[in-house]
Structure 1
Amino acid sequence: MPVQFIKDPNQVGDAINESNTKPVVIHYWNPLMGEESPFLSLFHDADENLGPNVSLYVVDSGFINPPHDPQELPLTALYVDGKEKQSVPFNVDQVRDLIFSAV
């Protein structure tokens, strides 16, 4: 499944609930930081390698799911069984490791 983009914060809950059936990685990005996250190519590469085993989302509305707050943006989180398993800050190596730890 290709990387999916979320602009409506209400859709974040649906994406997290999807982690009840397979791991979900959500990258929270604030468009005020730039038009698009510099990690998009990493997410597209991961999508090609992981295929349907992991769902990848980018929330580009400035919204971040609690318990995090906007001061932590950008942030990438792994969800499993409807709960956040791990999150990492804006660091390409840590984000790559988080994505590939999902499988």
Structure 2
Amino acid sequence: MGANHTALDAACPDCGHTQVNRLLRSGGWIRLERELQLPIAAVPEQHRWFIAVDGYAVDAHGNEAHCYIAHHRVCSRRPHPEHMAPIFSAIWQRNRALDGLAFD
């Protein structure tokens, strides 16, 4: 039986929201935005994350129609994601609104 390489969900140290942690094949972990799977056309290739059949998070190499994004790019407590695709601004603003924070 294959391993599920999902850690226990963990709170972001900055915003406190629970995110999904996934193991990387390099041995590290990445915190993915929890509930969102986005159409790949909306996310630049270098920022796409996929869950491989073995449970590892892999970047930019999936053949799926939808992908995940790294939470740190859209965390409500981090600076606005300037110079990023519009989808990142939209999710950052959504996260700020959910936390009752201003967009500026």
Name the TM-score class by shorter chain: under 0.3
Name the larger-Rg structure.
2
Greater relative contact order (Cα 8 A, min sep 6): structure 1 or 2? 1
Structure that is richer in helix per residue? 1
